[in-house]
Chains A and B, each alone.
Chain A
């Protein structure tokens, strides 16, 4: 992969200027964030998967320049007037460079049209409040109107506490929107990324026709700490990882980041019904 090597060089030069650095959660090596994100947000030394920023993910999946974002500027109205919430939102916005915990839009993947929602675990842990819920509803309705499949990249710490019951209700709202999408016989693919937990797992993240996950992603309903406090026992090795869910028959496949675009294109092409499916170079791991 030429591209990959070049990007490392470019990134290394920038790193000298003291730009943002990230520490690998596995091997502990410190690297410039740019280098990591140019390499699918994978640690070049040990293969650890960093959380991938939303727009990097979209670049990796969608055909170059094909992504058109909708509803970019939706903002939370702080429905509970929750203490400290407005300040928190403002600081998260500057920190993560996105407006809210999800980005939605339409794109093509190897020429196949699709609607997409990508959640951002950098923005308040991707927690689902009214805006994230509304965005999922909007993109689902958009997909229905335009007769499009929908791909959702899930990443969430769960429902957002600061919006209380309104966050919880987003589980019902997204469910209803997706039920309507499904009724139109449209495809819904979920890609579960690290971490997918709580109210998101218990609603749209587990309602796809096809569910795939990234390696080692934490996926569960209750968080591991809560479970440990409840059962007061050691949790089994690898508990709640993508591999664990795969073993337990809860997801269809674990897909590496570099194969994600191919895999999604393959699945989309299998569901094209308007015209003859285009022939697509299949990914390495065909079943």
Chain B
């Protein structure tokens, strides 16, 4: 991948990665439910993994997106404290990913395109989550997305935290909001492990190259959606329209491609991202 180092550096100076990370975490930032309400109509939410329970930190639904019936999978953090606690601060348990797999399987069955909205600090690191196979289920989720015979668009709307976010990102197209981030580890985690000082999160954020612009430079992200001044959940229409336009363009293309070719193209896309 030809990345001009100088260009990346210039982008970074303008970019202020730490600001972006803090923006991505703001309480009033639009979340999956806000986008679902604006982007889709006739939303029918599906619940539960048919195995253990329902995880409110992952929303699955079927709905109309313009002329297409689609499957929606969205990670939800919650705005108020009560919502946040209910959604486990956006950190899914294995049942969340199983629920999402159920939605993906149905999408494939009915040839519905899938739109994923990613917003999580990471999959939940807890005792129960481990006992129920958190790692296993993310691995399975990735495997399912790798071979899914229907188009998948992933939009990172806020935090793209590590494996928990990546699980929904093995898609045909990846879109990021201007103030979202996508990273192997949180800047705080990186600072405390590598620099032995969690207060160096700002430096870590800069070193990790985790902003939408950085990922665009690496050709990992297809589109970056601009966020206007004062962008929050009460003022999001402009960006929603941009997302809609972008998704319509993408679906117009992808829905015409035969499923086996689509999967093949997805494989080529990822296998080509060597980073070497």
Contact = CB atoms under 8 A, between A and B. Distances in A.
B271 A177 contact: yes
B60 interface: no
A: interface residue count bin: 35 or more
5 contacts: A160-B184, A165-B209, A175-B143, A199-B162, A206-B140
A231 B123 contact: no
Given A164-B183, A202-B139, A239-B130, A172 B146 contact: yes
A65 interface: no
Interface in A129-173: 130-131, 134, 137, 159-169, 171-173
B90 to A, nearest CB: 14
Given A164-B209, A207-B140, 19 more contacts: A79-B3, A79-B218, A130-B276, A161-B185, A164-B183, A167-B184, A169-B273, A169-B275, A172-B142, A172-B166, A198-B163, A199-B166, A202-B142, A202-B163, A204-B139, A206-B133, A207-B143, A222-B126, A248-B131
A281 interface: no
B79 interface: no
A239 B185 CA distance: 23
A221 B129 contact: yes
Contact of A230 (B3, B125, B162, B207): B125
Contacts of A18: none
A80 B220 contact: no
Give the one of B129, B135, B166 with max A CB within 10 A: B135
A205 interface: yes
Interface residues of B, number: 52
Nearest to A236: B127
Nearest to A171: B166
A169 B210 contact: no
B17 to A, nearest CB: 11
Contact of A161 (B124, B126, B190, B275): B190
Interface of A: 74, 76-77, 79-83, 130-131, 134, 137, 159-169, 171-173, 175-180, 183, 197-199, 201-207, 220-223, 226-227, 230-231, 233, 235-236, 239-240, 244, 248, 250
Main secondary structure of the interface of A (DSSP, over half): helix
A202 B135 contact: yes
Given A176-B267, A221-B163, A83 B273 contact: no
B140 to A, nearest CB: 7
A201 B139 contact: yes
Interface of B: 3, 5, 123-127, 129-136, 138-140, 142-143, 146-147, 162-163, 166-167, 169-170, 182-185, 189-190, 193-194, 207-210, 214-215, 218, 220, 266-267, 270-271, 273-276
A171 B183 contact: no
B173 to A, nearest CB: 14
B95 to A, nearest CB: 14
Contact of B275 (A166, A227, A248): A166
Nearest to B194: A161
B153 to A, nearest CB: 15
B112 to A, nearest CB: 21
Contacts of B275: 77, 79, 130, 163, 166, 169
A255 to B, nearest CB: 19
Contacts of A134: 274, 276
